[in-house]
């Protein structure tokens, strides 16, 4: 399906790059789920997290350097600690991509419970945890389908306090005032 190749298509256009290196490029997420949302993609043709092994750890560190740099140059004044950096455990688009997203999650594109839960449950694998798992297992395995479904439909919870909203609309209003 062609929509799965949207990132590969757009990363070929230098005008879409915010920064780049000999290892990868950073683009703005086209449908940002927070005030700041970037994607770091390797130039190497790696379809997804499921194609990585230990040998890729040095490349992942290069991608992480790009993540740090894009926050400095594109999100001026926003501290690094205000970002979460990691991979979706069940990505939908082709070409490996590291999410660099600000923890406010204030965005008109945050529209569904799935959008929330794929960034705020175990479906979002922080970079350090991901690398530790890759180091240990020499691969990153797909989560069982039933677990993915459970996590996607998990009750909403604020990422900054104990608030358990009744709806995404409530959560969005709450996040706005954080
Ligand atoms: P995922 O595959 O679940 O890790 O997420 C793919 C991400 O790519 C989502 O955050 C989308 O908003 C974003 N996205 C989809 N198409 C494009 C595009 N052409 N350029 C930049 N970002 C995109
Ligand atoms: Zn809260």
Which ranges of the chain does DSSP label H, i.e. alpha helix?
A: 6-11, 57-74, 113-120, 127-137, 145-152, 168-176
Residue nearest to atom 3 of ligand 1 (CA): 91
CA 95, chain centre distance (Å) = 13
CB 49 within 8 A of CB 94: no
Name all residues whose Cβ lies below 6 A of ligand 1: 6-7, 10, 27, 29-31, 39, 88, 91-93, 97
pTM, to two decimals: 0.98
Per-residue pLDDT of the chain (178 residues; tens, 9 = 90+): 689 999 999 999 999 999 999 999 999 999 999 999 999 999 999 999 999 999 999 999 999 999 999 999 999 999 999 999 999 999 999 999 999 999 999 999 999 999 999 999 999 999 999 999 999 999 999 999 999 999 999 999 999 999 999 999 999 999 999 9
37 alpha carbon to ligand 1 midpoint, in Å? Answer: 10
CB 125 within 8 A of CB 87: yes
Residue that has been written with the tokens 């959560």 in this structure = 171
């Amino acid at each position: 399906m062609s929509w799965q190749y949207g990132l590969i298509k757009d990363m070929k256009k230098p005008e879409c790059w915010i920064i780049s290196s000999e290892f990868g490029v950073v683009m703005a997420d086209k449908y940002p789920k927070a005030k700041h949302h970037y994607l770091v993609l390797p130039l190497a043709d790696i379809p997804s997290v499921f194609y990585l092994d230990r040998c890729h750890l040095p490349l992942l560190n290069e991608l992480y350097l790009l993540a740090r740099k894009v926050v400095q140059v594109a999100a001026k004044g926003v501290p690094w600690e205000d970002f979460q950096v990691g991979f979706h455990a069940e990505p939908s688009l082709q070409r490996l991509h590291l999410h660099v997203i600000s923890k406010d999650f204030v965005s008109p594109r945050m529209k569904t419970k799935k959008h929330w839960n794929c960034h705020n449950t175990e479906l979002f694998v922080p970079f350090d945890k991901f690398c530790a798992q890759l180091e240990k297992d020499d691969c990153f395995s797909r989560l069982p389908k039933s677990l993915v479904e459970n996590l996607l439909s998990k009750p909403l919870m604020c990422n900054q306090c104990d608030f358990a909203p009744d709806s995404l609309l409530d959560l969005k209003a709450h996040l706005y005032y954080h």
